[in-house]
Structures are given as structure tokens and as C-alpha cells.
Amino acid sequence: MDDIFWFNAAICVLLLVLTIFFSLLPLFMSAASSESYWHKLMQEKLPFLTAGVFLSTGMIHLLPDAVKLYNQYNQMIDGPDEPYPLVYFLACMGCFLVWSVDSLNFGDSGKMMAVAAAAQPHCAFPTSLHSYFYTEVDVLLAGNKCAVDVDKRDQCVSDPHVHAHVSGSVSEHIVFSGDSVVLPYLLAALFSLHSLIAGFTLGMNASMSSTALATAVAIVSHKFIEAVSVGANFAKARSGVNPQRSIAVLVTYSFMTPVGIVTGMSLSAALQGPTGVLAQAIALGIGSGSFIYLAFHEVTEEDAVQGASTTEKLSLFLTGVSVMAALAACV
């Protein structure tokens, strides 16, 4: 028990430092650096390695352990010989949960977080009746560039708002109050839900095992890539984004996975006996589904699909799968 506690504590610190550093890094780099070798490596090559790690972690580590724990629970309560395949249902729900979050934020949390932070007042229009700060910003979410272009206009209206136009899809009209401080934090929490799920899955491991190690490797390998991507969207929208608000949103986002880990550890420690075993099975079942979904989400990222050859994609994916498969055999 002590081993898994200190392991999770170390992973919390590591993830927090990595996520803060890599999410804020693009804000302090020049625009030219976005074309650097390391940026292209993280955006175009590593997602396929991460996809292999996620898929094998979900299929080889999390799902079998969840089934084992669920069977153990049924033995402890003298359940039926052929219980309902709850774990596989939960895996489906894990896929659905993360997919629904992607659907809510139009598939790119970084873009929508930047849109939220861009809701700033830019002009004042005093009249005899009232004096307000308000703005109208057309935010163009250019899917082929994974960027946010902000076009500030000299137009004043009674209700400040932002038009978010997503290329290749139906235009969405999102209304912001001109100087909302709470909204970016709410959106950061929403878009970081899958980070909470991943952290919770790791935290629910009651002992140091290959599953705990594989889960940590999968989360870490994905986290710094994701953090750079999210931070880059704020950097590209720097002309219309308040720097202090950007930093606040990114730091809040960075805490999501550690919060999930601590929550999982607390719940695992509080639940004992059959209830604790069932809780672990449920957490690992949902986690396996979310990891499987994230694997296929990684390989469909537009920047990665266009930037890597077929040979590179297959080689990196198989490398990720092989590493996690070897981990299952050796640990």
C-alpha cells in the first residue's frame, strides 16, 4: 500500500510540473518556433506512439484487471456463476463518456478554451442612457491549421458576444458576458474531464502492479503532447487573449489529472471489502474504454495524419503496443 501511495504521489508531482511547463511553453516562444523540429515531432509523429500505448494499456492491462476484480467480487458475495458482463458495458460507457466530451467541445478543447479566454471587452460607447464595455469578435476556428484567428471589429452593440465559426461544420453562436472570469475555468474543467477519468483510473489501483505502471506511462506520454497542443492555441490567439487569463486557465487545466489521482486514492482507501473490489473494477472498466477511445482519437488528429508517412504511423503505433505488451509480461 505504501508503494502505490508514493508512486501515485510522485506521478501527481511529475504530471503537474510537465503539464504546466509544456502548456505555458508556447506562450513564451516565438511564432517561428511552431515550425521547429521538436514541435513537428510532438504534433505529427508522437501521437501514433501514444495511440499504441493507450490501446494496449486499455486492452492488455486495464480491461483484464477489471474483469479479474469483478469476478473476485462475485466470488466474495456468492454471485451467479455467469454474471452480467458489467465490465464490458462499463468499457463502452468509458468510450461514450470521453467521446461525448469531444462532441460538446467540437472535437478540440484547445480551440474552445482559447475562444472562452478571448471574450474580452475592447471598446466603450458612452451615451446619454448608458455606458458599457462590449465587443464583437469573430473567432475563426481553422481546422486545417489547428489555430484560432481573432478579428476585432469596431462594432458596438448592446449585448457583447462572440461568434464562433467552425470551418466545415454548422456555425455555432456562443454568447459570453464581456468580462467573464468564471467561464474559462468552467470550460477548462469540462474539457479536462478525460484527464480526471485517467487520473481517477490510476488512483484507484490498490497495489503496485503492471497495470498501475502502464496507466502512468500512458498518461505521461500523452499529457505533454496534449499540453503543448492546448497551449499553442492560446499562443496563436495571443492578440485577442488576456495573458493573465490564459495562464490561469492553463494552470487550472494542469491540475485536473492530479486531482483525479487524489480522488481515486481517497475513494480506494475509504472503500473496503467487496465494495472496494467492485469500485476498483468499475474504475478500471470505465478507464479501459476511455483509453481505447483516446487511442483512436490520437490517430485521427489532422496534423498527425497529414504529417507522417504510412510507414512511420505503423511503426510508431506498433512500438507503443509492443512496449506495453512487454510490460505486461515482465512486471
pLDDT tens, position by position, 38-84: 666 666 777 888 889 889 999 999 999 999 999 999 999 998 988 99
Assess contact for 132 and 254: CB atoms under 8 A. Answer: no
User: Which stretches in the chain have pLDDT values below 50?
Assistant: 31-32, 106-107, 120-186
pLDDT score of 89: 97
* Closest to 205 (Cα-Cα) out of 41, 44, 3: 3
Instruction: Indicate yes or no: pTM above 0.85.
Output: no
Q: What are residue 265's phi and psi, to 5 degrees?
A: -65, -40
* Closest to 280 (Cα-Cα) out of 272, 208, 75, 260: 272
Under 8 Å CB-to-CB from 38, ≥6 apart: which residues? Answer: none
> Using alpha carbons only, how large is the chain's radius of gyration in Å?
22
Cell representation of residue 21? 511547463
pLDDT score of 119: 52
Domain boundaries, the chain: 2-107+182-330, 115-174
